[in-house]
A and B are shown apart, each in its own frame.
Chain A
Amino acid sequence: MRITLAVNGTRRTFDAHPGETLLELLRREGYVGVKKGCGSGDCGACTVLLDGRAVNSCLVLAGKADGSDVLTIEGLSQGGALHPLQEAFLDEGAVQCGYCTPGMILAALDLLTHHPDPSEEEVREGISGNLCRCTGYTKELRAILVAAAKMREARHG
């Protein structure tokens, strides 16, 4: 089947098998920032934004995304400038092996887009579907709160 996606702002048409997942399609097409972890919706390494909301791409059949906007980690920086979430993850040392990072950042982006001023508890819930096996969650939590403050500042000038 042919499906059309706007991946990171660029509209493209792909050949897809009717039983394949969005994760499989994206990685085959070179968007390897999308990681395969558990394949069962538990770890969140495959998180992408589908029409602005974070989902486990390992559980989304590619056909379901036809006509949708997809954002992967590759599409987050603008003109070479890192997104405030990416900067904060670096500044706060929230990256160790990096495997969970793309998913964690995109889950956080969904949260901050819809809740620009989250409490610590809301951030914890926001990334509860993203597992990190290296650093734990303290630094990620701090990075997301720092990014939230930066993003609010940028929004209000």
Chain B
Amino acid sequence: MGLPGVKEFVRPETLDQALELLRQHGERAWLIGGGIDLVLFAPQDAEVVVDLGRLPLCYVKEEAGRFAIGATTPLREVLEDRSLEGYMVGVVPQMLHQVASPLLRNLATMGGTLVSANPWSDVITLFLALGAQVVLSDGKAQTIPLENLYPARAHRGTILTEVYLPAPAAGSAAGFWKFGRTAFDVALLNAACLVRMAGGRCVEARLVLGGRPGLGTRVPLAEKVLVGSDLGDATIDRAAEVARESADVRDDRRASGDWRRELARVGVKKVLHEARGRLPGGER
């Protein structure tokens, strides 16, 4: 039996109904998008499964360059959404092609992915670099930066309904890199960046490393090397070296911390070169 402790499976039609179920059942209620992590990790205290699949939250919308993705949108639908190919030179589908398998992408939802906070998550690493924001609702909607979502447990009692990718600022570009044993396996390390140039100088840099094995987190010392620079080869090499030295990496059963430290250097170099190559003509 998948989850013998589950006593009830409910599928609310509206956000209000879902919130009411959360209030009613408290800690015994588990929200699911695709439900993958619930089945995989089978928490003992899950008694009431609240499937959000019938809420009207399955969409990808663009408005003035900004994208809104509904929480129950399967990763496959995000991947196949043609309009996202025009966002930051298609960095979102580039990343999603590397997430798990098509079978899992058909099931996994955007909201579930963000809330599950699996530390190797490619989605979270890239979305942190892009400056994504999430909308949480406890009846009243509140928009917060994705980095403030974690630890997600702190937001119990609310439902994540939407994630925003901000409209790209002029002169900005992004890159993403994943290193895993196979196309299907989770990342041993992943890296993402967003850089913004103005008048030949880097005015903003967001550099994120994930699967360290901890959740995606920014690398401020390496970002500092980039801001104010011309983003030349020497600067990129120096930022990669600083990332190697300062990255918060550890051993786990998949890879050693030393190996990850070297991957951090390579990953940072790769994503910065990729982003630089994608800058609009005048800033390249």
For A58-101 the 0/1 string (1 means CB < 8 A from B) is 11110110100000000000000000000000000000000000
Q: Which of B51-101 contact A (CB under 8 A)?
A: 51, 53, 74, 76, 80, 97, 100-101
Q: Which of B1-29 contact A (CB under 8 A)?
A: 1-9, 11
B32 interface hit (Cβ, 8 Å): yes
What CA separation (Å) do A19 and B8 show in the bound complex? 8
A140 interface hit (Cβ, 8 Å): no
Mostly, the B contact residues are: mixed
Q: Min CB distance, A137 to chain B, in Å?
A: 12
Q: Judging by beta carbons under 8 Å apart, are A129 and B1 in contact?
A: no
Chain A residues contacting B40 (CB-CB under 8 Å) are: 40-41, 59
Q: Judging by beta carbons under 8 Å apart, are A61 and B32 in contact?
A: yes
Q: State the interface size on chain B (CB cutoff 8 A).
A: 33
Q: Judging by beta carbons under 8 Å apart, are A61 and B102 in contact?
A: no
Nearest chain A residue, comparing its CB with the CB of B37:
A59
A-B contacts besides A20-B2, A47-B103, 19 pairs, CB < 8 Å: A1-B9, A19-B5, A20-B1, A41-B40, A41-B100, A44-B101, A50-B106, A54-B102, A54-B106, A60-B39, A60-B107, A61-B3, A64-B32, A110-B102, A111-B102, A114-B80, A125-B97, A129-B104, A130-B103
**B residues adjacent to A (C-beta < 8 A):** 1-9, 11, 32, 34-36, 38-40, 49, 51, 53, 74, 76, 80, 97, 100-104, 106-107, 183-184
